[in-house]
Amino acid sequence: MLPILRSIVQEVSAAGSVEQALNLIVVRVKETMGVDVCSAYLVDKQAQQFVLMATDGLNAASVGQVRMGMNEGLVSVVAEREEPVNICAPHNHPRFREFPETGEERYHSFLGVPIIHHRQVLGVLVLQQHSEKPFDEDVVTFLVTIAAQLAGAIAHADASGEIEGLRPKRSVAAPLLGLPGAPGVAIGTAVVMHPYADIDSIPDRQTDDPKGELKRFRKAVDAVKKEIRAMADRIGEDLGKGDSALFDAYLLMLESDSLIDTTEERIRQGNWAPGALRETVQEHLRVFEAMEDNYLRERAEDVRDLGRRILGHMNNEKRQKPDYPRETVLVGEEITASMLIEVPPRRLAGVISARGSRTSHVAILARALGVPAVMGVDELPVGRVDGRRVIADGYSGRVYVNPNQTVRREFRRLQQEEKAMSEKLRSLGTLPAKTKDGARIHLYANTGLVSDLKPSMKSGAEGVGLYRTEFPFMIRERFPGEEEQRQVYREVLESFHPQPVIMRTLDVGGDKALPYFPIQEDNPFLGWRGIRITLDHPEIFLVQLRAMMKANAGLNNLQLLLPMVSDVREVDQALALIHRAHDELLEEGEDVKLPKIGVMIEVPSAIYQADELARRVDFFSVGSNDLTQYLLAVDRNNPRVAELYDSLHPAVLRALKQLVEAARQHKRPVSVCGEMAGDPAAALLLLGMGISSLSMSASSLLGIKWLVRSFSRRRAKAALERALKMENAGEVRNHLNLLLEKSGLGGLVRAGK
């Protein structure tokens, strides 16, 4: 049976549409099982009906015509019971409903199996027979297996609107669903952006004039560099004078050996410039796209964008710049950071992209600029929205195309409230994060991405609570050397001096891979990650430690943080290496001081060994992203289990409480640097626990400051006590959202004031 099943599944996966897939299934199942009829019914959610979508055996003309209510017919019995229904003489069943147009009165046995995805019944597969005897068990199990395999494909087609004609036209008031990219509400006119030249379709072509091609390529690269510098200057006015940090990444790529030298080498070997460029770009894309880390995968788009720009210049393509109306909302299959920059800043109201996520460069940039963005709107009808009115809600990830007047009016109101709120937040800039009863919390910024540095400084952060050193390692083609690293770290330490900067030692592995240090594992999150790697490679670890301590010379605002600690012996070994690096530097005559050292608390074992750890180090920093993932056994990047991933889970809260108590006994400060710190509901509980500092992305900082200043620690403690008695994360979140709403801070968790 297995080979047949495999071949059906393969054919189904290769089908061009759901309709094709269903037709294929009914034909193949009927043939394989030697039954008289196989049909597929799907649920039409809006009409609340089952619709016959494909059949082999019933009258073909009844496809699309046969519809029955959610409580009608045997199909509805299968859906209701969520299990196979295998009966003889179906017409005797009280729920049987006859459709004479199908010709089914001739069949005397019925097997129905539900198609279920994420606990939701999407449809039913049905077999029918002339003979009056139930179906054999192997037929039942075969059909169950097919239905389970089919469910995912149907759910996807449903989400992308592919199940055409099944339901009435979408009502204009119904929103399209995407992912929140940058908070805020945008109302404006859609301007659809198309990518530049299509780089993938460029053919290879032999050239007799490699010199001429090289010249053409270099000229185009220079033109793109100029273009990007001009954009950086223009946008600098908004991100702060002279801030070209984001574009440094682009310029770095334009100067990198791998992009430029490799293309030039290919031209020298005889390919014409566009073909050589395509080869290089595609090679990069393959590496980036294979990466598990979201941030890095998104970098593939930056490479593609650069490739298209260079190609455009080589072809002397005069790009027509669209007219950007006031309140432009950029819409496209894939909006890139550079498309966003081309819009005059005062005219840009929002961004809607069919692809991408929160970690796309364009979303990061939009957050830095305070422009609302919605990403990953699968259903976005890009071809049909240019010039239309659109609304993007960057909090909920909802998009409205051609909204009616009521929706428009409501969002205008919310937008005005938002404006009033952000003015209020800005006025908090220099005020301390102090609770009403005088408890002082330190608010720090998380950085590591080149583009984060300036916004972090401007956000009123009191230092850097987490500098992820992976980034300078990721954008290179080999491990960066000591001096190279020293310069990068020095810039960060100087930028924030005299405020503290907590630098985490290299945390690769898991979902963060280095292109030049691939790690293949079945269970990467439980494998060779973080400190496990650096302890196994002292030659990498020592270089990083030396670079950090040298960068700190004369500044002394560096603190060191060790990631992924799961065993105290790791800390002992790391401390020995830190002392060794320090001693060596002293011997070499360097003016270096031993920085404070902390461990990340992100593996459950670290919670239970907090005592032992506290005796060894100066502070704790909670990596709530990983801690949640390991405590709940939920992969932080897997959309299938995303609903189970919530840092407000009572188990996470209890673990944190235990940690804070242990740390208090040893007088060690605890900070939180995972996403929890920037989540207003969670931050309130952390405040109640007695956490001394919170570190988050710069864009969340002022909102959290407002929260801290609006509550007393006593009230936060009371909220925590209640939450600790609750049984699940949903209950905790509702309790906190309500409390924020009642305290006038609802605007932190939804659109409006």
Does the footprint of ligand PEP cover residue 468 (CB under 6 A)? yes
The rounded distance, in Å, linking the Cα atoms of 288 and 297 is 5
The rounded distance, in Å, linking the Cα atoms of 647 and 259 is 40
Amino acid at the residue 419: K
Does the footprint of Mg ion cover residue 470 (CB under 5 A)? no
**C-beta closer to ligand PEP: residue 277 or 701:** 701
Does the footprint of ligand PEP cover residue 487 (CB under 6 A)? no
Beta-sheet pairing, 398-401 with 176-177? antiparallel
Does the footprint of Mg ion cover residue 36 (CB under 5 A)? no
What residue 52 binds from Mg ion, ligand PEP, none (CB within 5 to 8 A, per partner kind)? none
The 599-618 contact track toward Mg ion, x by CB under 5 A, reads ---x----------------
**C-beta closer to ligand PEP: residue 378 or 635:** 635
**Nearest-approach distance from CB 632 to ligand PEP, in angstroms:** 13
Catalytic residue among 284, 442, 582, 673: 673
How many beta carbons lie within 10 A of that of residue 547, not counting itself? 25
What is the DSSP secondary-structure string of 307-363? HHHHHHHHTT--PPPPP--TTEEEEESS--HHHHHHS-GGGEEEEEESS--TTSHHH
Q: Out of 190, 197, 549, 673, name the contact with ligand PEP by CB under 6 A.
A: 673
Write out 434-495 in H/E/C secondary structure.
ECCCCCECEEEEEECCHHHHHHHHHCCCCCEEEEECHHHHHCCCCCCCHHHHHHHHHHHHHH
Helices 18-33 and 137-159, interaxial angle, to 10°?
A: 180
**Nearest-approach distance from CB 602 to ligand PEP, in angstroms:** 5
Beta-sheet pairing, 185-192 with 389-393? antiparallel
Which positions ≥6 away from 95 have C-beta within 8 Å? 71, 72, 73, 74, 76, 77
C-alpha 40 chain-centroid distance: 35
Helices 650-665 and 680-689, interaxial angle, to 10°?
A: 30
Options 271-279, 304-312, 620-628, 725-733: segment touching ligand PEP (CB under 6 A): 620-628
Residues shown for the chain: 753
Buried b (16+ CB within 10 A) or exposed e, 677-696: bbbbbbbbbbbbbbbbbbbb
Does the footprint of ligand PEP cover residue 302 (CB under 6 A)? no
**C-beta closer to ligand PEP: residue 84 or 623:** 623
The rounded distance, in Å, linking the Cα atoms of 104 and 85 is 17
Q: Out of 626, 646, 675, 679, name the contact with Mg ion by CB under 5 A.
A: 626
**C-beta closer to ligand PEP: residue 36 or 511:** 511
Q: How many residues bind ligand PEP (CB under 6 A)?
A: 10
Options 101-109, 122-130, 623-631, 743-751: segment touching ligand PEP (CB under 6 A): 623-631
Q: Out of 626, 679, 690, 694, name the contact with ligand PEP by CB under 6 A.
A: 626
Residue 319 has, within 13 A of its CA and on its CB side, a CA count of 18
The rounded distance, in Å, linking the Cα atoms of 440 and 403 is 45
The rounded distance, in Å, linking the Cα atoms of 114 and 392 is 36
Does the footprint of ligand PEP cover residue 674 (CB under 6 A)? yes
**C-beta closer to ligand PEP: residue 175 or 674:** 674
685-714 positions binding ligand PEP, by CB under 6 A: none
**Nearest-approach distance from CB 624 to ligand PEP, in angstroms:** 5
**C-beta closer to Mg ion: residue 487 or 566:** 566
Asked if residue 35 lies in contact with residue 134, where contact means CB atoms within 8 angstroms, the answer is no
What is the DSSP secondary-structure string of 234-279? HHHHHH-TT--HHHHHHHHHHH-IIIIIHHHHHHHTTB-HHHHHHH
**C-beta closer to Mg ion: residue 328 or 624:** 624
What residue 59 binds from ligand PEP, Mg ion, none (CB within 5 to 8 A, per partner kind)? none
Does the footprint of ligand PEP cover residue 637 (CB under 6 A)? no
**Nearest-approach distance from CB 657 to Mg ion, in angstroms:** 20
Q: Out of 625, 637, 712, 737, name the contact with ligand PEP by CB under 6 A.
A: 625
Q: Out of 210, 376, 623, 688, name the contact with Mg ion by CB under 5 A.
A: 623
Listed residue (455, 382, 450) closest to 182, CA to CA = 455
Asked if residue 535 lies in contact with residue 541, where contact means CB atoms within 8 angstroms, the answer is yes
First CA to last CA distance, the chain? 60
The rounded distance, in Å, linking the Cα atoms of 172 and 506 is 49
**Nearest-approach distance from CB 660 to ligand PEP, in angstroms:** 16
**C-beta closer to ligand PEP: residue 62 or 294:** 294
Helices 482-496 and 538-551, interaxial angle, to 10°?
A: 40
Options 165-173, 295-303, 444-452, 625-633: segment touching Mg ion (CB under 5 A): 625-633
Does the footprint of ligand PEP cover residue 357 (CB under 6 A)? no
Asked if residue 598 lies in contact with residue 560, where contact means CB atoms within 8 angstroms, the answer is yes
| Catalytic residue list contains 194 | no
Does the footprint of ligand PEP cover residue 623 (CB under 6 A)? yes
Amino acid at the residue 656: L
**SS3 for 215?**
helix
Does the footprint of ligand PEP cover residue 602 (CB under 6 A)? yes
**C-beta closer to ligand PEP: residue 86 or 624:** 624
What residue 393 binds from Mg ion, ligand PEP, none (CB within 5 to 8 A, per partner kind)? none
What residue 673 binds from Mg ion, ligand PEP, none (CB within 5 to 8 A, per partner kind)? ligand PEP
Could you tell me which residues are beta bridge partners of residue 176? Answer: 399
The 501-520 contact track toward ligand PEP, x by CB under 6 A, reads ------x-------------
Asked if residue 354 lies in contact with residue 377, where contact means CB atoms within 8 angstroms, the answer is yes
Options 161-169, 237-245, 282-290, 619-627: segment touching ligand PEP (CB under 6 A): 619-627
Amino acid at the residue 430: T
Listed residue (416, 373, 371) closest to 395, CA to CA = 373
**Nearest-approach distance from CB 673 to ligand PEP, in angstroms:** 5
**C-beta closer to ligand PEP: residue 559 or 624:** 624
What residue 30 binds from Mg ion, ligand PEP, none (CB within 5 to 8 A, per partner kind)? none
| Catalytic residue list contains 361 | yes
Does the footprint of ligand PEP cover residue 624 (CB under 6 A)? yes
Does the footprint of ligand PEP cover residue 358 (CB under 6 A)? no
What residue 468 binds from ligand PEP, Mg ion, none (CB within 5 to 8 A, per partner kind)? ligand PEP
Does the footprint of ligand PEP cover residue 35 (CB under 6 A)? no
Does the footprint of ligand PEP cover residue 679 (CB under 6 A)? no
**Nearest-approach distance from CB 627 to Mg ion, in angstroms:** 8
What residue 707 binds from ligand PEP, Mg ion, none (CB within 5 to 8 A, per partner kind)? none
Catalytic residue among 361, 442, 582, 649: 361
**Nearest-approach distance from CB 628 to ligand PEP, in angstroms:** 8
**Nearest-approach distance from CB 653 to ligand PEP, in angstroms:** 15
Does the footprint of ligand PEP cover residue 262 (CB under 6 A)? no
Q: Left, alpha or beta for 230 (phi > 0: left; psi -120 to 50: alpha)?
A: alpha
Q: Which residues are known catalytic residues? A: 361, 673
**Residues making contact with ligand PEP (CB under 6 A):** 466, 468, 507, 602, 623-626, 673-674
**Residues making contact with Mg ion (CB under 5 A):** 602, 623, 626
